Amino acid sequence: MNTDPAPAPAIAVTPAVDPAVADRRVIVALDFDDRRAAETLVERLGDACGSYKIGLELLVSAGPGLVRDLVERGHEVFLDLKLFEIPNSVAGAVRAAGALGASMVTVHAMGGTGIMSAAVEAAREFPRLRVLALTVVTSMTGSDLADIGVDAGTEEQVLRLARLAVGAGCDGVVASPREAGVLRELLGPDRLVVTPGVTLGPEAEDGAQDDEAAEGRAGVKGRRGAVGFGGTAGGHARPGTPRAAFAAGASHVVVGRSAAGRRTHWRRCGGWCGPLGDPCG
């Protein structure tokens, strides 16, 4: 029996922002608690950025109108809801995200096949909406997984949940930059691998510790020794640089607001997402 993951469905996305200016592989996180601060960053970046992430904090404080406005301006919106509810509620939230014009929405893979399948089915009404399964949040380590009864290292658990996501029909997964390589091997070329936890500077480069020692557990050996991976930064236990994430197989990276606000990096790296030969992170 062929157990290879089925190819993800083709999704046509018509860019409204000039793709020569804005590379949509870089998603800037609008992690603010008010709309004015978020809009200030959007205005500062201008055409350099084509995609933004809106999480629960900004959605609750600013309301869904900001999502609609960004979509109307030609931006793609990654609505990071991390849905973990009964299937009917998840399906309703996904339909609401699609009606707003979101391009991506997240559902917790830890919720199992039922809620992921419900999300995928609900998204069929919205051809541009991609359902992403969140595997292991980037702040978690193997010790955290042990606390909730998961007897696996982070990489092993990420791969386990990614297989469930494929079976449920999800368009891709969310994981840290460190798992991008093994996920690309597992998922093939078509599915999305979206990586938060992207940072610049030594905090993402100088940690050469092995995951077994850093997490205090035996298990699957991590990849902190690779160039561009290591350390901890910004609440992310498993960070990496943009260049390392893309080279490993990520389709998208999520950039924190503090780094994205330094416009010089966008100019230097062609919007952070220029050719991998550039010194992008």
DSSP-assigned beta bridge partners for residue 80: 55
Q: Which two tokens stand for residue 42?
A: 């959007």
Q: SS3 string of 138-161? A: CCCCHHHHHHCCCCCCHHHHHHHH
Active-site residue flag, 82: yes
Would you give the DSSP letter of residue 111? G
Dist. CA 55–CA 256, nearest whole Å: 12
| Catalytic position from the list 35, 82, 128, 160 | 82
Triad 236, 171, 147: Cα angle to 5°: 35
The 3-state DSSP composition of the chain as helix, strand, coil percent (nearest 5) reads: 40, 15, 45
For residue 65, the surrounding DSSP H or E stretch is helix 65-72
Q: Residue 215 CB: number of other CB atoms within 10 A?
A: 22
Q: Which residues are catalytic?
A: 82
